[in-house]
Structure 1
Amino acid sequence: MRDIALVGIGKIATDQHVPALAASEDWRLVATVSRSGTVEGVEAFTDFDAFLEGRPEVGTVSLCLPPVPRYAYAEAALRAGRHVMLEKPPGATLAEVQALARLADEAGLTLYATWHSRMAPGVAPARDWLADKRIERVAIDWREDVRRWHPGQEWVFEPGGMGVFDPGINALSILTAILPFDIHVQQATLEVPENRQTPIGAEIALSGNVRAVFDWRHEGEQTWRIEVDTDAGRLTLSEGGHRLTIDGAEQGPAAGGAPIPGEYPALYARMAELVGAGASDVDLAPMIHVADAMTLGRRETARPFEF
């Protein structure tokens, strides 16, 4: 097993990263860095530089910080000779993640820009089924309640927080994993609350007859659905990629009854593979589509939003 440190002990870390590491056969969580959060039984630091100096033998760090401060931590870790795993989105800008990728390559270190939704069990079978099909239409319907998933987290509506694209990028990460061709944003409409900086709703049209609707105000049943109409029928990924149907028939994502790992355990298994192979994985396609939507999007003022 390899030693790893977890940086940023907030909701996503405690809900997903800590349990995934506790169950991992590849990793041993030996340190955390956070201003306030800790993990029972694990050495806790409040300063990242103090961790880097005090635990030089810990060769890998997983960064669960919000996107805006993440670059400085990742750069410091790479310059200190540590492999780096990035929570999604991998940074606040494309340029900074590209700079990190170059730095990791020059240092011979692993940099992994993770997209957890790609690890949902229906995604790989969907990609395989679509590989030889003619795709006629794609519709994404991604609606959830920001108060439920990001309670009181004001940073999501600040510059760099991405607003509704924080969940929307999950859909785009699945889309770019399953389509057998490249796509690009053609137009977008962004609904921005008058008291906020980032959108709470968005509609996007992409090439290839792809349409996406994202809404962060949805208080009913949470909806994470992608429909793909093809010359061989309709493929549907629902429940964020965990359920796959073709023309309404359920498809078994785990062939032969093999156990299905959770998204985050699968991410950490992938990180172990990358470190072992001396490789990196920095796919920025989902982030490029968000950046393009922000650039091309027509902004409409929405009613004020408060948590």
Structure 2
Amino acid sequence: MPVSRLLMDRELSQALEGVPMTPNGAFDLTDIPATRAAFRAQAESTAASEPDDPSVTTEEHRIGRADGPDVTVRLLRPATAPGPLPVMLWFHGGGQVLGFAAQDDAWLKPLCSQLGCAVAVVDYRLAPETPAPGAAEDGFTAYQWLVREAEELGLDGTRIGIAGQSGGGGIAAATVLLVRDRGGAAPVFQSLTYPMLDDRNLTASSHEITDIGIWDRSTNILAWQAVLGDRTGTDDVSPYSAPSRAQDFSALPPTFIAVGELDCFRDEDLDYAARLRAHGVPVELHLYPGAYHAFDLFAPESRLAATFQQTWFSYLARRFQDTSTP
């Protein structure tokens, strides 16, 4: 039996047995259009089977810009919470090649209700149609819009955080770098959940995780090739395309990073946390034993997923309530 299976949390291992697998794993990036369609169909079917939450409202906003196509932002907010509300700018997962803004509604809406905050989900452009750093540019446009229009939207422009998951975590980190380097108002935090940060695939974990089926090494290589094309692994990659390429981590906001022990992103995420801390950035880091990539989504009823959610919600609540301390 592969070592990764022996080390895997029992509940997560049981959940994995129910995940449909192609010969190329859960996400077959040898045929991105077909996998996108299947991914969307599954997400929409799941959403249709669950009752809507009337306590959270949904709006869609289109943000125009002179140097690119409009960016759509899906804004979720508690219907009765008094404003101005803190807001989290969110980037969905999908390896930067899959997914869509509404895919996370089922658990972002409870987050809005529990934390009394708004969530602005960026419907960023996907690769390979839009190579990096196009998605981060979309994120920067959305962040500028939130800061500029906060008062009109009933939001608190002094309490905006930037967050993302998996591929979206990488885009969130790149957006934060763009905000700093272009002199924008600093977000109160960045929250990176098992983020996709490094196109080079040189770490130990990127070589170890090959047989779980949930975003293994082969899938990640295909994703980065779609995101960067011939630039993958070369010197011609900016931090706005792969944040691990950054050299200067100073003046970045307090950071939350969570990753599983059996995630191919483990070591690049741990390294990112260490480099942030070395530059004086407050970091809250969580490594989940026996957990594979996106464990909280594939095994949402597991104890590890519950632990992660409680820890993450607590961090967000603290950052929104008191932005004066790390």
TM-score grouping bracket, smaller chain normalisation: 0.3 to 0.5
Calculate the TM-score normalised by the size of structure 1. 0.35
Structure exhibiting the larger radius of gyration computed from Cα positions: 1
Kindly indicate which of the two structures has a greater share of residues assigned to helix: 2
